[in-house]
Amino acid sequence: MVIQSEVKTTEQDLLRVVGLSKIYDGTVKAVEDVAFSVQKGEVFALLGGSGCGKSTLLRMLAGFETPTQGNIFLAGKDITSLPPYQRPINMMFQSYALFPHLTVWDNIAFGLRRDGMAKADIANRVESMLSLVQLNQFARRKPHQLSGGQQQRVALARSLAKRPQLLLLDEPLGALDKKLREKTQFELINIVQEVGVTCVLVTHDQEEAMTMASRIAVMGGGRFLQVGRPREIYEVPNSVQVADFVGNVNLFQGEVTAADATCITVRSAECMHAVTHSAAVRVGMRVSLALRPEKITLTQVLPLADDNWCVGEVVELAYFGAYTTYHVKLDSGMVLKVQAMNGTQTNVIAVGHRVYASWHTLAVVVLTQ
C-alpha cells in the first residue's frame, strides 16, 4: 500500500526527499520510506491523525531529528546531516515557542542577530516584518501581553525574518479558537503568498490543509497514503483510509457483478450500484464504494433509475443554517449520511419520513484497498 509521489528532479524542485525513514529503538517506524518533492513557491501539506508520522517528518526537515535512512535535498544540496542552525529553513512552532523574556521586537530580531547582520539592517528588517503582520504598535510588548492571534503573527514574523528558503508550519492554527482560525487562515496564506516562500505545513485538520495547501500528502502509519491537489484527494481518494480521513464519507461494501471498459456494476446489501470508473476490477471482486454525503439527493418520490438509489427512514437531522445533514437508516441497517443545501427545497423532510436517496453514476468512487 505504498503510494509515493513521483520523484522527478526538475529545476523547480526546491525540496526533494528521498527514501526517508525514522526508526526509533530499531523497531518503531515513525516514518517509513517517504519520498516527495516540493516546488518553489508551493505550499505542501502533510495531513494525518496523531501518530501518523507527520510531525517526525517535519522535525527531520528542520533538523531536530536525524533520519535513520534517506536524504533531504534543499535546492540541490544534501542537507541531511546539517544541524538546525545551519539550515536555511525556519519553522513556526505549534503554540509558537516565542521567547517569553524578550519583546516582540527582540523575538523577531533574534535570528537576524545570530547572522551578524548590521544593526541598521536588522532594524529595517524587523520593522518591515512588523508591518507585514501589522503589529507595529506592539513591538515593545512581551509575548504574554499579546492575544493568541497576535502571538501567532509574531511567530510567523520571526520565522520569516531570516528569509528562509523553506518555511515549516507546525499546526499553525492549532492553538486558536474556531472563529479566529478562519480569519487567520486567509491572513496566513496571504502573507505566505506575498513573501513567496515555499512552505511545508503539518496539520490534522483537513479544512486547514485544503484551504492553505496547493498539494496535500495524506499520511498514515508513517507512510504517504496519497499525494495530490486538494480536489483530487477529496474527489478521488485512492483508499478507504484516505476517503474516511478526508471529509465525511459513506462506505458501501459490495461485489463486482459486471465490468466493462467504462462502467462497472456492484451489488451491495443496500442496492445495485452502476459506477463510471476505470479502475482495474474483475467480476467477483470485493470492493468498497465511497460516496460523499453532499452528492446524495433525498426525495419523497420514487427515482426513475434502476440503480444508485435506496430507501430508508430519516432518524436524525441537524440544521446548520446553510445546509442540513440527515441520517437515513436504510433497510440493511446502514445509516447513510446525507448533506443538502438549504433554501431551494419546498417540501421539507423531517425525522420519521421515509425517503429515497439517489446519486449520479459519477458520484461513487470504487476503492479496492
Partner 1 sequence: MNNAFAKSWMIAVYAFLYLPIITLVVYSFNASPLVTVWSHASVKWYVALMADDDLISAVKLSLEIAFLSALMSVFFGTFTAFALNRYRRFSGRTLLSSMASAPLVMPDVIVGLSLLLMLVSVQHWLGFPDRGLFTILLGHALLGAAYANVVITSRLREMDGRLDEAAMDLGCKPFQVFRLVTLPLLVPALVSAFLLTFTLSFDDVVLSSFLSGPGYSTLPMVIFSRARLGLNPSINAAATVIISVVTIGVIALSLYQARAARQRKREMALVYSESNQNT
Chain residues that interact with partner 1, rule: CB under 8 A: 62-64, 83-85, 89-91, 93-95, 97-101, 110-111, 114-115, 144-147, 149-150, 158-159, 162, 179-180
Q: Which is nearer to partner 1, 161 or 246 (CB)?
A: 161
Q: C-beta of 110: minimal distance to partner 1 in Å? A: 5
Q: Which is nearer to partner 1, 180 or 311 (CB)?
A: 180
Whole-number Å distance between alpha carbons of 308 and 335 = 16
**Kindly report the CA angle at 85 between 80 and 90, in degrees rounded to 5?**
85
Q: C-beta of 111: minimal distance to partner 1 in Å? A: 3
Q: C-beta of 155: minimal distance to partner 1 in Å? A: 9
Sequence-distant (6+) residues with CB within 8 A of 77 are none
**Kindly report the CA angle at 252 between 213 and 272, in degrees rounded to 5?**
125
Q: Which is nearer to partner 1, 51 or 83 (CB)?
A: 83
The amino acid that residue 309 corresponds to is: W
Q: Which is nearer to partner 1, 93 or 323 (CB)?
A: 93
Q: Provide the CA 56 distance to its chain's centre, in angstroms.
A: 16
Q: C-beta of 101: minimal distance to partner 1 in Å? A: 5
Q: C-beta of 105: minimal distance to partner 1 in Å? A: 14
Concatenate the DSSP letters of all residues of 81-124 into one string.
Answer: T--GGGSSEEEEBTTB---TTS-HHHHHHHHHHHTT--HHHHHH
Q: Which is nearer to partner 1, 164 or 293 (CB)?
A: 164
Please give the backbone phi and psi of residue 116, each rounded to the nearest 5 degrees, phi first: 65, 35
Q: C-beta of 316: minimal distance to partner 1 in Å? A: 33
Q: How many residues can be counted in the chain? A: 369
Asked if 149 and 180 touch (Cβ cutoff 8 Å), the reply is yes
Cell numbers at 167, concatenated: 518555511
Q: Which is nearer to partner 1, 65 or 313 (CB)?
A: 65
Q: C-beta of 143: minimal distance to partner 1 in Å? A: 10
251 strand-pairing partners: 290
Q: Which is nearer to partner 1, 170 or 270 (CB)?
A: 170
Sequence-distant (6+) residues with CB within 8 A of 311 are 330, 331, 354, 355, 356, 357
Q: C-beta of 272: minimal distance to partner 1 in Å? A: 52
Whole-number Å distance between alpha carbons of 202 and 208 = 10
Q: Which is nearer to partner 1, 58 or 336 (CB)?
A: 58
Collapsing DSSP to helix, strand or coil, 364 comes out as coil
